[in-house]
């Protein structure tokens, strides 16, 4: 053979080492990414001016001109942690904040929450685990009835022990609504799954991102109007917005960027 290749000079990147447990490496890397996200973002952050969004996109002509169109209508933004629960944390924060300023809505919500428990049992959620999440939610709402202030909402929504309980309960409410209306929602579910399978895989586990279907179900179940402003690379200068449910006046405004939701405040 004339063709002498010197093995020492061959590039050695991306070599597969059978002695290393690849799964553990991947898990470790995932953990590191998660720790970084956790360290850098509060579950629900502090109130920022919309100018912080402008700064974020100062080098991006498309986003930056779109952010400008938000300016007359919206004044502030509150960022949420991008951990797959952002929609739910944003929703419940904005809603509870609305409720402390609109006591009649808080009363209505409390009544709804009370009755929702039985509905979840009917769908077949295990009683004692469901009760745990329900009771925590009731505690939070009762507490806000008494001493409701924005500081309290901030504290509750940023305490992992409490916030995660609220998120789980919202997930159960979404799942119950989808399953109760399975005939209708089955047309929108991809991958040949039943509505129940979809709920078990995409709704009930923590950290699964909320999609259109989740939002339709949650807003219909709780009876709360949400307007989502879509900030993406779609055509035109104006942001596309969508109201959930379509016929309801929105009381919560969320900013959507691909894969993530933050809270918006009207000017």
Residues that bind another protein (CB under 8 A): 16, 21-27, 29-35, 37-38, 43, 81-85, 125-126, 128-130, 132-133, 136, 139-140, 143, 151-152, 155-156, 158-162, 164, 168, 171-172, 197, 200-201, 204-209, 259
Of the two residues 5 and 39, which places its CB atom closer to another protein in the complex? 39
- The nearer residue to another protein, 93 or 244, going by C-beta atoms, is 93
Distances (CA, A) of 155 to 45, 82, 93, 194: 11, 19, 10, 38
Catalytic residue among 48, 83, 132, 164: 83
Cα 47 to chain centroid distance, Å, stands at 18
Cα–Cα nearest to 79, from 169, 165, 160, 157: 157
- Measured from the CB atom, the residue of 136 and 220 that comes closer to another protein is 136
Q: Report the C-alpha gap between 97 and 154 in whole angstroms.
A: 9
Report how many helices (DSSP H) and strands (DSSP E) the chain contains, helices first.
Answer: 11, 6
| Residue 177: active-site member | no
Q: Quote the tokens at residue 177.
A: 């609504």
Q: Annotated catalytic, 102?
A: no
Name the strand (E) or helix (H) holding 108. helix 103-123
Nearer to another protein, 125 or 261 (CB): 125
Told to judge if 83 belongs to the known catalytic residues of this protein, a careful annotator would answer yes
Residue 262: CB minimum distance to another protein, A: 16
Tokens linked to 207: 């950290």
The catalytic residue among 99, 253, 260, 262 is: 260
Helices 127-147 & 86-101, crossing angle to 10 degrees?
40
Catalytic position from the list 86, 99, 157, 210: 86
CB of 110 to another protein, least distance (A): 17
State the minimum distance, in angstroms, from the CB of residue 179 to another protein: 13
**Catalytic annotation, residues:** 83, 86, 260
């Amino acid at each position: 053979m004339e063709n002498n290749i010197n093995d020492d000079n061959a590039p050695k990147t991306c070599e597969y080492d059978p002695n290393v447990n690849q799964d553990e490496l991947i898990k470790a890397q995932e953990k590191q990414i998660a720790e970084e996200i956790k360290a850098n973002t509060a579950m629900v952050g502090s109130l920022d001016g919309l100018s912080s969004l402008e700064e974020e996109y100062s080098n991006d002509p498309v986003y930056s001109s779109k952010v400008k169109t938000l300016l007359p209508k919206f004044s502030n933004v509150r960022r949420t942690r991008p951990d797959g629960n952002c929609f739910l944390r944003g929703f419940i924060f904005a809603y509870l904040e609305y409720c402390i300023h609109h006591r009649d809505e808080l009363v209505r919500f409390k009544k709804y929450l009370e009755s929702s428990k039985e509905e979840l049992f009917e769908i077949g959620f295990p009683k004692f685990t469901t009760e745990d999440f329900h009771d925590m939610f009731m505690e939070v709402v009762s507490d806000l009835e008494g001493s409701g202030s924005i500081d309290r909402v901030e504290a509750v929504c940023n305490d992992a022990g409490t916030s995660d309980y609220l998120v789980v309960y919202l997930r159960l409410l979404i799942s119950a609504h989808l399953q109760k209306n399975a005939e209708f929602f089955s047309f929108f579910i991809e991958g040949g799954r039943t509505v129940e399978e979809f709920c078990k895989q995409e709704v009930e586990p923590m950290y699964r991102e909320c999609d259109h279907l989740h939002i339709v179900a949650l807003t219909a179940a709780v009876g709360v109007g949400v307007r989502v402003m879509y900030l993406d690379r779609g055509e035109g200068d104006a942001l596309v917005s969508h109201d959930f449910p379509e016929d309801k006046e929105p009381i919560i405004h969320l900013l959507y960027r691909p894969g993530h939701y933050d809270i918006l405040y009207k000017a």
